[in-house]
Amino acid sequence: MSVNPVIDERPLSLLELMGHVYRRAGFGATRDELEAALAQGYEATVEA
């Protein structure tokens, strides 16, 4: 029996992207932390 998972090919929202960045950095983030990161912007968050 073969399993074919459905792959979501839509682009990530900025909130999802920030969550991914925080997870890859080795720690999760609360919703408030993600909202603050969104307010700063992607570049500023990554450079921080």
Neighbours of 19 (CB within 10 A): 18
Q: Which pLDDT score is estimated for 29?
A: 87
> What is the reported pTM?
0.59
Residue 1 has pLDDT above 70, yes or no: no
Three-state DSSP state, 2: coil
List pLDDT tens digits, range 6-30.
887 888 898 898 888 888 887 788 8
> Is residue 16 within 8 Å of 31, Cβ to Cβ?
no
Burial of 37 (0-12, 13-18, 19+ CB in 10 A): buried
